[in-house]
């Protein structure tokens, strides 16, 4: 529903620039020459990666390899950490999100994010949590109620919460909270959804639900997921990128990465020889 | 099935446990004793003075005859501390927000933090003297006036509000800031819609501490508001206040006036308690929505 109505967006200057690209199905992200730092320490070293439209791209790698940092650079959340900075090109439909004068809030509205630990707003009800994205970004659609309900349906939470939309969001179980957070992210109708180890705090059943959800969501959104769980990458991802020490080692269709990777280090990692 | 015999708790650990527990209980009781004694004497001496006219008449100020009530003192205290609160709490929260959300550990923020700490340690009479020199002697808008007392009280409350609000704001998990920012919210909206509501109950408690502190302060008022007995709602006049009334009454050789001090002291404690309850109720209600 969102993809064929790009004119609905509230910032007209952008829509005009991207109408042509939006006419296609989805929206991809192209990362070129990305360097990211925490203080003096460089954690991403000249990385290139393509996140293709309407696919799930998984980023795997050992702890500290910079997986999370990469996705946090894509929606410019990396720089929120004191002392952190990033440079390079991150293009969404050909527009560089790091070019001077870009409105960061607009970037983040187009590139949503789901975090490792479910983080619903504790002072808000279930309904208000999902509506938060629309309200916080200053868009006040007339069909707010509809869009909230729609987002809850999309994440399969509707049947579970429809009778208690005014109950606090933190009263839900961990898995429900994470689906609530996904609903909150997609209610603003972003083009790309970044997921930073979204299942690492969840039990296997809740994890499975989220994985199924990703499969449905990729028809409408472009998804990049960071995971330390290789089975998960194998289950959900169309393509998988393997990272090591801040560099991209290999990015290929998931089956190829897991069965016949080009790089020796990738093979060692996916077969469990290190990491 | 094999049963494993669990070893019994050793005598030494049992004794240690008992000794430590009784030490903690003893400490608790010790801390409670002065608190209960204060309340006991306040109620014992104060409650008797709460006659029908106590809250509806003003102190007469006459040494002989009827000492009167404390109406003007209650009104004066409420107005002066009210004015101080209305000004300092928003300013204090704003400073705390600057420290936690913008300044963080920058040099400027640390300088502010340092001065706030220094201000917390300044004896209250210094604020009184400062306003006395800066506003009373300089004769800014009259001599002794209620609003100058409010300024002195406000200066005293400000660092308390800032410090308590900062502590609470730092407790707001950074994951909530990130969640809101990642939704494309501008920083001011993140603060107004997510951070402040989350921290509100704590900020309320901290501000109340400051209000309670301001209510009970005598020293900043002595040289700024001076004393009065008549009822006035005008902050441009000399006003009567509860602490100053108590201060004046308690030194009187006449028992009836000393009793009035007890009554006023009990009223002061009751007033702070009531304000506390109201603020808690408000905070709880606003936390629900």
* Of residues A80, A123, A137, nearest to B178 (C-beta): A80
Q: DSSP assignment, residue A168?
A: B
- Chain A residues touching residue B186 (CB < 8 angstroms): 105, 138
Whole-number CA gyration radius for chain B: 25
A122 touches chain B (CB under 8 A): yes
Alpha-carbon gap: A208 to the closest alpha carbon of chain B (Å): 23
Count interface pairs A-B at CB distance under 8 A.
Answer: 77
Distances (CA, A) of A35 to A40, A64, A70, A89, A197: 12, 15, 9, 9, 22
Backbone angles phi, psi at B54, to 5 degrees: -60, -40
Q: Are strands A111-114 and A56-60 parallel, antiparallel or unpaired?
A: unpaired
A135 touches chain B (CB under 8 A): yes
CB atoms A115 and B183 under 8 Å: no
Alpha-carbon gap: B198 to the closest alpha carbon of chain A (Å): 6
- Contact (CB, 8 A) for B145 and B221: no
Q: How confident is the model at residue A274 (pLDDT cuts 50, 70, 90)?
A: confident
Using DSSP's 3-state secondary structure scheme, residue A30 falls into strand
Alpha-carbon gap: A219 to the closest alpha carbon of chain B (Å): 21
* pLDDT tens-digit map of A166-178: 999 999 999 999 9
- Contact (CB, 8 A) for B131 and B148: yes
* pLDDT tens-digit map of B177-203: 999 999 999 999 999 999 999 998 889
Locate B176 and state its tokens: 């909530």
C-alpha A120: how far from its chain's center? 16
A131 touches chain B (CB under 8 A): no
Please report which helix (H) or strand (E) contains residue A242, including its range.
strand A239-244
**In the predicted model, is pLDDT for residue A2 greater than 50?**
no
Range name among A7-11, A161-165, B231-235, B266-270 with the lowest pLDDT average = A7-11
- Chain B residues touching residue A113 (CB < 8 angstroms): 182
B186 touches chain A (CB under 8 A): yes
CB atoms A109 and B183 under 8 Å: yes
* pLDDT tens-digit map of A65-107: 999 999 999 999 999 988 899 999 999 988 899 998 899 999 9
Q: Please give the ipTM for the structure prediction.
A: 0.85
Alpha-carbon gap: B197 to the closest alpha carbon of chain A (Å): 7
The length of chain B in residues reads 289
CB atoms B182 and A108 under 8 Å: yes
What pLDDT, on a 0 to 100 scale, did the predictor assign at position B287? 60
A117 touches chain B (CB under 8 A): yes
Bridge-partner residues for A49, per DSSP?
Answer: A31
Backbone angles phi, psi at A30, to 5 degrees: -120, 120
How far apart are the C-alpha atoms of B106 and B94, rounded to whole Å? 17
* pLDDT tens-digit map of B45-97: 999 888 878 888 888 877 777 888 899 999 999 999 999 999 999 999 999 99
Q: Are strands A247-253 and A239-244 parallel, antiparallel or unpaired?
A: antiparallel
Bridge-partner residues for A111, per DSSP?
Answer: A192
């Amino acid at each position: 529903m969102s993809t064929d109505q790009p004119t609905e967006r509230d910032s007209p200057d952008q829509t005009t620039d991207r109408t042509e690209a939006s006419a296609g199905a989805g929206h991809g992200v192209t990362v070129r020459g990305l360097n990211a730092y925490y203080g003096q320490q460089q954690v991403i070293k000249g990385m290139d990666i393509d996140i293709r439209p309407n696919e799930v791209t998984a980023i795997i790698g050992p702890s500290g390899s910079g997986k999370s940092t990469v996705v946090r650079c894509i929606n410019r959340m990396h720089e929120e950490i004191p002392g952190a900075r990033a440079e390079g090109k991150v293009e969404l439909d050909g527009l560089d999100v790091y070019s001077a004068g870009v409105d960061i809030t607009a970037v983040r509205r187009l590139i949503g994010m789901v975090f490792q630990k479910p983080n619903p707003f504790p002072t808000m009800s279930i309904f208000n949590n999902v509506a938060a994205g629309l309200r916080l970004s200053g868009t006040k659609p007339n069909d707010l109620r509809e869009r909230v309900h729609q987002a809850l349906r999309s994440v399969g939470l509707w049947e579970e919460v429809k009778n208690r939309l005014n109950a606090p969001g933190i009263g839900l179980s961990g898995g429900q909270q994470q689906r609530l957070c996904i609903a909150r992210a997609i209610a603003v109708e972003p083009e790309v959804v970044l997921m930073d180890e979204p299942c690492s705090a969840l039990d296997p059943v809740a994890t499975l639900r989220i994985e199924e959800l990703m499969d449905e969501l990729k028809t409408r959104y472009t998804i990049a997921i960071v995971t330390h769980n290789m089975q998960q990458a194998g289950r959900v991802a169309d393509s998988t990128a393997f990272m090591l020490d801040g560099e991209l080692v290999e990015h290929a269709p998931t089956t190829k990465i897991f069965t016949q990777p080009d790089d020796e280090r990738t093979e060692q990692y996916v077969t469990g020889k290190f990491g | 099935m094999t049963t494993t015999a669990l070893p019994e708790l050793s005598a030494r650990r049992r004794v240690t446990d008992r000794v430590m527990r009784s030490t903690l209980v003893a400490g608790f009781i010790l801390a409670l004793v002065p608190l209960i004694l204060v309340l006991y004497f306040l109620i014992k001496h104060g409650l008797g003075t709460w006659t029908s006219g106590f809250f509806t008449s003003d102190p007469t100020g006459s040494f002989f005859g009827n000492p009167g009530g404390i109406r003007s003192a209650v009104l004066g205290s409420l107005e002066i501390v009210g004015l101080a609160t209305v000004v300092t709490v928003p300013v204090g929260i704003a400073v705390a927000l600057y420290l936690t959300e913008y300044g963080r550990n920058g040099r400027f923020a640390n300088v502010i933090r340092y001065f706030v700490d220094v201000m917390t340690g300044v004896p209250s009479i210094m604020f009184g003297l400062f306003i006395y020199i800066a506003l009373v002697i300089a004769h800014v808008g009259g001599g002794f006036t209620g609003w100058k007392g409010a300024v002195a009280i406000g200066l005293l409350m400000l660092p308390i509000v800032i410090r308590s609000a900062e502590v609470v704001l730092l407790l707001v998990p950074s994951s909530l800031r990130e969640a809101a920012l990642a939704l494309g919210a501008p920083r001011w909206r993140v603060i107004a819609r997510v951070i402040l509501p989350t921290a509100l109950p704590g900020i309320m408690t901290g501000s109340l501490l400051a209000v309670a502190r301001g209510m009970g302060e005598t020293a900043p008022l002595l040289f700024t508001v001076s004393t009065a007995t008549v009822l006035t709602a005008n902050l441009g006049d000399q006003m009567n206040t509860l602490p100053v009334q108590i201060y004046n009454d308690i030194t009187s050789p006449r028992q009836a006036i000393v009793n009035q001090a007890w009554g006023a002291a009990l009223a002061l404690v009751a007033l702070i308690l009531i304000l506390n309850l109201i603020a808690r109720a408000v905070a709880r209600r606003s936390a629900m929505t």
